[in-house]
Structure 1
Amino acid sequence: MQQWHFHPVVRLLAQRIGLGLLTLWVISLLIFVGIQLLPGDLADAVLGQSATPETVAAFRHELKLDLPPHIRYLHWLSGAVEGDFGRSLANQRPVAELIGWRFGNSLFLAGVTALIAVPLAVVLGLMAALYRNTLFDKLISTSTLSVISFPEFFVAYILIALFSVQLPFFPSIASITPDMGLGQKLYAVFLPCLTLALVVTAHMMRQTRAAIINILASAYIEMANLKGLKRMRIVVLHAFPNALSPVINVIALNLAYLVVGVVIVEVVFVYPGLGQLLVDSVAKRDIPVVQASGLIFATTYVLLNLLADILSILCNPRLRSPR
């Protein structure tokens, strides 16, 4: 009987993709169960106490609340796979239409932040490793550790106090509309981007520095030192390429944090993103929007983690070549 032999990379990628799909299924189950465990009856909460029993019954039938939980879950999951998340209870608009522009705004905020934070973090990490234990390294390490110690909303309020109140350079409310130009949008999102960039750059810089320093302890680096190569050449041309796997992993994980972790920053700056929509929908008990937003955030996080695994595998020579 013929046996199939797969390349180690293909086998590992298949395992990661399978685990990612399994994780998404578990998350969808947790989201649905968590919504069902909310106190009170959804129909009574939405319609109010003055609603007649007939109205409540019709509303429950419309939302399929009269069906068994497992039937409702399968119906919701199959619709979500097809891109149909139902209709919002607040305004009766399709949830997919309601979420589309908001999610695009969140991706725009995360993308602009990534364009600032990733190059800055990699350069600072390289410089800190190059000048290890110097005043520059200690200053950068202390500064990044201080930024990490503060929660995002605290950093956001400090920036608002500095650049919107004391020095009114930028707006404290990051309001954007579809008809705004790119320059206007960048000006509006400067403070939320700066807030996220400070936190994310600190994380990525410290991990980049640690990965490069770990590589610098290798035997081939010691051989390069004995040959008399300049330290800049050793770090940039020898250490950094071999530290790419953990660095790429850290960057991808922080990008996942950017997309998912924008909720607090969006609320502080009243930014019209998916995080702000999620908070508003929770307050209104708009369950279809809450479920869809949670699933989209979870899917984005899992996909970016999967991308981190794939890039780490492809950057690792031991996994790229057969054993």
Structure 2
Amino acid sequence: MLFAVALVVFVLFESLDSDAATVILSRTGSGDPNPEQLRALRTELGLDRPAPVRFVEWLLAFAQGDFGNSLISGRPVGDVLLGRAANSVTLALITAGLLIPAALALGLLAGARAGSRTDRVISVGALAAESVPSFVFGVLLVATVSLSLRLLPAVSLLPTGASVWSRPEILVLPVTCLLIGLAPHPVRMVRAQTAEVMASPYIQTIRLNGIGGMRLMLRHVAPNAVSASIHPLAGAVVGLIGGVAVVETLFSYPGLSQEVLRAVEARDFPFVQSAAVLLAAVGIGIYLVADLLTLLVSPRARQIAMGERI
């Protein structure tokens, strides 16, 4: 899967109408670069070699942990990624830490009372939030909370080298925007699974035996509903990869996405290629963890897996 991602990104990058040499010479302000200058700079940057050769060289180096050097700044790609990724990871972890318990709690509450006023309020609210792009909520949050009420900063700027924890208030609006954009789908999935479990003969029999309340929810309903909702939750966490990119751009948050956008604009192949594959690896890793958790909490899933293996 990672090889397929790397190949697709490389092919798309090669289809662009210019390369790093053209961008560098254009930024010097000397007008359109002449063919001799382009040829010399492409040779210096290694862009004169055939595309398959450059891809294989990058792939072999990447497999050994060498992400190469930026074609624009000359800095090691790994150093730039590490510095920027820390801020993005902080934003994603805080959001995921709030997203998962909130989605589970709201979904279980709505599903346990399917058809009630509580269920209708949660379901309608989730559907309405899911129908609006997250950046719209971001703009509204900036307009109301920042510009009108002046409670929080409108942009999440940081001094160079500073940690996001030196100004934790800059995380509030980005995290809120991500939660509004990503929580509705897993809430609806957990709600649907919980309602299905509550209506099952197994649960009906338990309730006839006098078991109810929190004991019923925590011991019998929640494990079955949550095990079937692990992959929707994993999908929401993976959605943070794309959601963080939008939010970082909207709030000028100093994360990885801004650096990737600059690298695409500058045609910085080693940086874009390495960042794309690493982000894909994170997404694949999250789904792998979801598969393992499903096997851990679901005896039926384990039986199916063992049966297929046999």
Q: Is the shorter-chain TM-score for this pair beyond 0.5, marking a shared fold?
A: yes
Task: Give the conservation status (yes or no) of the 8 Å contact 1:130–1:232.
Answer: no
CA distance in 1, matches of 2:86, 2:195: 38
The residue type paired with residue 183 of structure 2 is: T
The residue type paired with residue 25 of structure 2 is: L
CA distance in 1, matches of 2:70, 2:42: 15
Deviation at 1:86, TM superposition (A): 2.1
Task: Give the conservation status (yes or no) of the 8 Å contact 1:85–1:94.
Answer: yes
CA distance in 1, matches of 2:64, 2:149: 49
Name the count of aligned residue pairs: 300
Equivalent residue for 2:22? 44
The residue type paired with residue 154 of structure 2 is: S
Task: Give the conservation status (yes or no) of the 8 Å contact 2:104–2:226.
Answer: no
Equivalent residue for 2:141? 159
CA distance in 1, matches of 2:55, 2:38: 21
Q: Does 1:59 align with 2:37?
A: no
Q: Does 1:282 align with 2:260?
A: no
Equivalent residue for 2:11? 33
Task: Give the conservation status (yes or no) of the 8 Å contact 1:87–1:94.
Answer: yes
Task: Indicate how the Cα distance of structure 1 residues 111 and 288 shifts in structure 2: closer, same or farther if over 3 A, else same.
Answer: same
Task: Indicate how the Cα distance of structure 1 residues 185 and 80 shifts in structure 2: closer, same or farther if over 3 A, else same.
Answer: farther
SS of corresponding position for 2:71: coil
Q: Which moved more, 1:228-237 or 1:146-155?
A: 228-237
Q: Which runs of 5+ in 2 are unaligned?
A: none
Deviations 1:42-84 (A, max 9, x none): 4334323554544423322233222222211111111222232
SS of corresponding position for 1:243: helix
User: In the alignment, which of 287, 300, 304 is matched to residue 318 of structure 1?
Assistant: 300
Task: Give the conservation status (yes or no) of the 8 Å contact 2:241–2:279.
Answer: yes
Deviation at 1:262, TM superposition (A): 0.9
Task: Give the conservation status (yes or no) of the 8 Å contact 2:134–2:180.
Answer: no
Task: Indicate how the Cα distance of structure 1 residues 176 and 81 shifts in structure 2: closer, same or farther if over 3 A, else same.
Answer: farther
User: In the alignment, which of 105, 118, 138 is matched to residue 136 of structure 1?
Assistant: 118
User: In the alignment, which of 210, 220, 234 is matched to residue 238 of structure 1?
Assistant: 220
Deviation at 1:124, TM superposition (A): 1.1
Deviation at 1:301, TM superposition (A): 1.3
Task: Give the conservation status (yes or no) of the 8 Å contact 1:122–1:208.
Answer: yes
Task: Indicate how the Cα distance of structure 1 residues 90 and 40 shifts in structure 2: closer, same or farther if over 3 A, else same.
Answer: closer
Task: Give the conservation status (yes or no) of the 8 Å contact 2:20–2:268.
Answer: no
Deviations 1:14-46 (A, max 9, x none): xxxxxxxxx111111001111111123543343
The percent of aligned pairs where both chains have the same amino acid is: 34
Q: Which moved more, 1:234-243 or 1:171-180?
A: 171-180
User: In the alignment, which of 282, 291, 298 is matched to residue 309 of structure 1?
Assistant: 291
Superposed, 1:72-111 pairs within 5 Å as 72-111=54-93
Equivalent residue for 1:173? 155
CA distance in 1, matches of 2:8, 2:150: 44
Q: Which runs of 5+ in 1 are unaligned?
A: 1-22
SS of corresponding position for 2:271: helix
Task: Indicate how the Cα distance of structure 1 residues 180 and 69 shifts in structure 2: closer, same or farther if over 3 A, else same.
Answer: closer
Q: Does 1:266 align with 2:228?
A: no
CA distance in 1, matches of 2:38, 2:104: 57
Deviation at 1:166, TM superposition (A): 0.8
The residue type paired with residue 44 of structure 1 is: T
Task: Give the conservation status (yes or no) of the 8 Å contact 2:18–2:267.
Answer: no
CA distance in 2, matches of 1:216, 1:45: 60
The residue type paired with residue 313 of structure 1 is: L
CA distance in 2, matches of 1:288, 1:185: 32
The two structures, once aligned, show a CA RMSD in angstroms of 2.0
SS of corresponding position for 1:117: helix
SS of corresponding position for 1:39: coil
Q: Which moved more, 1:71-80 or 1:45-54?
A: 45-54
Deviation at 1:319, TM superposition (A): 3.8
CA distance in 1, matches of 2:76, 2:246: 25
Task: Give the conservation status (yes or no) of the 8 Å contact 2:45–2:71.
Answer: no
Equivalent residue for 1:198? 180
- With normalisation by structure 1, the TM-score equals 0.86
CA distance in 1, matches of 2:243, 2:185: 14
Deviation at 1:286, TM superposition (A): 2.5
Task: Give the conservation status (yes or no) of the 8 Å contact 1:204–1:251.
Answer: yes
CA distance in 2, matches of 1:199, 1:34: 28
